[in-house]
Structure 1
Amino acid sequence: MSKPRSLSLAAYRVLSWGGAQQSIRPDQPRPDGELVWVHIATRDRLRAISDFCLRLQQARPGLSLLLSAPPEIDLSRWTGSPFPMVNLPAEQTGAARAFLDHWKPDLGLWVGGGLMPSIITRAEERKIPMLLIEAQLDVVLSRNARWLPDISRYTFDCFEHILTTTDETARQIRRMGVASSKVRKAPPLQFSPNPHPWPEDELIETNHALAGRPVWLAARVQAKEFISVLSAHRQALRILPRLALILHVADRAEAAPLQRRLETMDLRCSNWDDGGPIEDTTQVIVSSEPEDLGLWQRVSPVSFMASSLERGAGGQDPLDAVALGSAVIYGPHVDIYQTVYARLAEAGAAHPVKTATELGDAVVALLAPDRAAGMALAGWQAITEGAPQAERLVDMLQDLLDQRSNHDARP
């Protein structure tokens, strides 16, 4: 390490001192064998990165993974990952050292922004290979150290490889003085859905019962969305008189009351959970079992991803529906899935709506065979485009792990 760099880091660490008072007592031991530490800056990337980690683990049996989130994050809201997850300690020199002393990662992968100089530079000093993907110009500096203009460059320079999602970000990182050979543009990692298979006989029977009829699915509908969904269905029925709606409710307790409500509205319905048959005159099929969505997404060329028209429910992940060939409609309140929906909408695989009227119009428009097929193809292309990037990154990480293992094995 050059003298100017040593002086800069020394000054930063003095100004960031305080970790000795923040003792770290991990509640889980370090697993045996190789360990890759993966830091995720934002919650919306958790599913895609967890999916990538599963790929990496399959390619390298015996590998353990530790996921981390920023210090201030409430981990109870970051659910759904099969890997252990911890908060990084605050940006303090002693705390960063204690984290690395306990976990002893063989490799680090940082996803996104919020770079923390203390832990990143300490990892480099311990010769832990570090990669930065989906890089952003976002470095977390302690308040007293913001006058150090070059600490951001030193932090970026600790990474063996830096992948950015835009050419402009790559240019700005190079302008800091980071070697051009380290920096390149690459697409972000994407979640690759793998829906559970469905019994062929039941799928054939259900398709036969609905044969020749236009069908749409409203998935995980909240009680406060019932009126909007049913209004949209009535509106669409004026154009498509044989249209069938599969109304999948988010709360199982709502299924029976909803059936009675439909009967008072003169809508002919069948309760799928009770074994009700789908007849040629059935207008609404009520369903509530979460696992049945795999069937409905297979038979419905159009799926409205509910829990999104009204605030509060937070939306739902659309990728299984897309993987099963369904064109997607969604409301404005999709919260943590906003990035996913925006990507699908940009690809032409998803259509946003704000009102019941817009929903009814979208159902009619998207049920045109050429439109539904085009959106299904666009969706499939969108969710598979990241596969080559994931494979390249797996190979890159394996190479670095092999190099470290070979170096440690030398006498």
Structure 2
Amino acid sequence: MSKPRSLSLAAYRVLSWGVPNTANRPDQPRPEGELIWVHISVQNRQRAVTDFCRRLQLARPSLNVLLTAPPEADLRRWDQGDYPLVNLPLEQTGAARAFLDHWRPDIGLWVGGGLMPNVITRAEERGIPLILIEAQIDIKIARGARWLPDITRYTLDCFQSILTKTSETARTIRRLGVASDKVGESPPLHVSPNPRPWPEDELIETNHALAGRLVWLAACVLDKEFISVLSAHRQAMRMLPRLTLVLHVADMAEAGPLHQRLESMDLRCANWDADGQIEDTTQVILSAEHEDLGLWHRISPVTFMGSSMERGAGGHDPLVAAALGSSIIHGPFVHRHQQIYDQLDRAGAARVVRTATELGDAVVEMLSPDRAADMALAGWQIVSEGAPQTDRLIDMVQDCLDQRGTDDART
């Protein structure tokens, strides 16, 4: 049941009154069934939120997901993934009401700051359970209404549960007058990859073909990186003569020309996609299918994440490799996944290299069994550290939806 409306809120709605304009009218229909509305306050949290939503849907397959971004966000710069992504309307009373009328969410999850009183208080009055995570005391108040008291407290108090990243933020929210039992601490959502299983017979067969040899993987390698990777492999073979490189190319069209190039360089190459035959003398295994990375990450204790040595390349996601027990080497140009790489680097699960010589040295060093095991463990801890928080939040969402369903059945 919603709380009595405060005089400050009534005045706020009058001062922020507006009618939806054309830009605020949704152009996507609401899906049938239960719907969770998840608001992402900053773009760099989108990936973790999307990962959480996928895991939530594994637990509740019939649940639909709507993602929203701030009104001013340029959605062309955001990932267009599996879920509808729309801007929240401007902080106007009429626009907030129109948004809720159209989408009719069964539950709302707000991630971060930028709280918008109109849509939050309207949702609470409609009996929509709301959860705030990674909470910040950051309210977007409409112009002309900043002098009103209690809007911050009233907006925060609309959430059934508030999870903050720090104890200081939790104390500040309680001091505003929000009930203590609503407020708790929890680390931010983490991306936790869930690699698909690999056929056991193929894994055993491939390991048998490579028995007695050390293996490293260069994944998603651009054509401009071929020379660096192959030079590093030649350098590493001087120390490890039976070393095998799995060279996975980023562009499948490059696989054929590269095979010819390898032969001209007197490197004995097996084309995995053509026949899958690995000989005892094979020095390079050429692969182009993205799906096969699941096999190679499991076999290779060390992975160089390509598309990272050339300026502007941006890098590829390293978390699946870490989840499958491979330690990570990468170049300096990983801005598309900078936060994740920084985290792995700090934990000792990854190493940055800038030249072919540094790459060759890193391969030799990291193929040492003790070194590889330490780095793989550090990577696994990064991958798995957010699992308890994710499970807790999934339980909270499911409990709210179940309770809401029970209440609807009684009415």
Q: Using a 3 Å threshold, how does the CA distance of structure 1 residues 12 and 52 change in structure 2: closer, same or farther?
A: same
Q: Kindly provide the amino acid, as one letter, of the partner of residue 115 in structure 2.
A: L
The residue number in structure 1 matching 2:362 is: 362
Moved more, 269-278 or 111-120: 269-278
Q: Could you tell me how far apart the structure 2 residues matched to 1:153 and 1:346 are? A: 38
Q: Using a 3 Å threshold, how does the CA distance of structure 1 residues 184 and 265 change in structure 2: closer, same or farther?
A: same
Output one character per residue of 1:150-194: Cα deviation in whole Å (capped at 9) or x when no partner.
533333222111112222332333344433322211122333322
Instruction: Please give the secondary structure, in 2, of the residue aligned with 1:134.
Output: strand
The residue number in structure 1 matching 2:315 is: 315
Percent same amino acid among aligned pairs? 70
The residue number in structure 1 matching 2:48 is: 48
Deviation at 1:301?
Answer: 0.5
Q: Could you tell me how far apart the structure 2 residues matched to 1:145 and 1:228 are? A: 60
Q: Kindly provide the amino acid, as one letter, of the partner of residue 62 in structure 2.
A: G
Q: Using a 3 Å threshold, how does the CA distance of structure 1 residues 257 and 328 change in structure 2: closer, same or farther?
A: same
Q: Kindly provide the amino acid, as one letter, of the partner of residue 7 in structure 2.
A: S
Instruction: Please give the secondary structure, in 1, of the residue aligned with 2:220.
Output: strand
Output one character per residue of 1:32-59: Cα deviation in whole Å (capped at 9) or x when no partner.
3332211122344334323332333343
Q: Could you tell me how far apart the structure 2 residues matched to 1:121 and 1:226 are? A: 56
The residue number in structure 1 matching 2:112 is: 112
The residue number in structure 2 matching 1:100 is: 100
Instruction: Please give the secondary structure, in 1, of the residue aligned with 2:128.
Output: coil
Moved more, 160-169 or 174-183: 174-183
Moved more, 85-94 or 47-56: 47-56
Q: Could you tell me how far apart the structure 2 residues matched to 1:226 and 1:176 are? A: 59
Q: Kindly provide the amino acid, as one letter, of the partner of residue 41 in structure 2.
A: A
Q: Could you tell me how far apart the structure 1 residues matched to 2:13 and 2:22 are? A: 15
Q: Could you tell me how far apart the structure 1 residues matched to 2:37 and 2:107 are? A: 6
Deviation at 1:325?
Answer: 1.4
Q: Using a 3 Å threshold, how does the CA distance of structure 1 residues 297 and 127 change in structure 2: closer, same or farther?
A: same
Q: Could you tell me how far apart the structure 2 residues matched to 1:61 and 1:301 are? A: 35
Kindly indicate whether the alpha-carbon contact (under 8 Å) linking 2:20 and 2:98 is maintained by their aligned counterparts in 1: no
Instruction: Please give the secondary structure, in 2, of the residue aligned with 1:217.
Output: strand
The residue number in structure 1 matching 2:32 is: 32
Q: Kindly provide the amino acid, as one letter, of the partner of residue 124 in structure 2.
A: E
The residue number in structure 2 matching 1:153 is: 153
Q: Could you tell me how far apart the structure 2 residues matched to 1:355 and 1:145 are? A: 57
Output one character per residue of 1:232-259: Cα deviation in whole Å (capped at 9) or x when no partner.
2233233223222111110111112222
Q: Kindly provide the amino acid, as one letter, of the partner of residue 158 in structure 1.
A: C
Q: Could you tell me how far apart the structure 2 residues matched to 1:279 and 1:42 are? A: 50
Q: Could you tell me how far apart the structure 2 residues matched to 1:311 and 1:138 are? A: 36
Q: What count of residue pairs does the alignment treat as equivalent?
A: 409
Moved more, 104-113 or 377-386: 377-386
Deviation at 1:373?
Answer: 1.5
Q: Could you tell me how far apart the structure 2 residues matched to 1:16 and 1:107 are? A: 25
Output one character per residue of 1:273-325: Cα deviation in whole Å (capped at 9) or x when no partner.
23263333332222111111111111100111111222333222222212221
Q: Could you tell me how far apart the structure 1 residues matched to 2:137 and 2:306 are? A: 35
Q: Kindly provide the amino acid, as one letter, of the partner of residue 103 in structure 2.
A: W
Kindly indicate whether the alpha-carbon contact (under 8 Å) linking 1:222 and 1:251 is maintained by their aligned counterparts in 2: yes
Deviation at 1:146?
Answer: 4.6
Gaps of 5+ in 2: none
The residue number in structure 1 matching 2:331 is: 331
| Equivalent residues in 2 for 1:43-82, closer than 5 Å | 43-60=43-60, 62-79=62-79, 81-82=81-82
The residue number in structure 1 matching 2:234 is: 234
The residue number in structure 2 matching 1:139 is: 139
Deviation at 1:388?
Answer: 2.2
Moved more, 306-315 or 106-115: 306-315
The residue number in structure 2 matching 1:372 is: 372
Instruction: Please give the secondary structure, in 1, of the residue aligned with 2:20.
Output: helix
Q: Could you tell me how far apart the structure 1 residues matched to 2:390 and 2:127 are? A: 25
Q: Could you tell me how far apart the structure 2 residues matched to 1:387 and 1:362 are? A: 31
Output one character per residue of 1:179-222: Cα deviation in whole Å (capped at 9) or x when no partner.
33222111223333222222333322321222222211111011
Instruction: Please give the secondary structure, in 2, of the residue aligned with 1:20.
Output: coil
Moved more, 328-337 or 219-228: 328-337
The residue number in structure 2 matching 1:174 is: 174
Moved more, 92-101 or 48-57: 48-57
Q: Could you tell me how far apart the structure 2 residues matched to 1:17 and 1:359 are? A: 60
Moved more, 36-45 or 262-271: 262-271
Kindly indicate whether the alpha-carbon contact (under 8 Å) linking 1:66 and 1:84 is maintained by their aligned counterparts in 2: yes
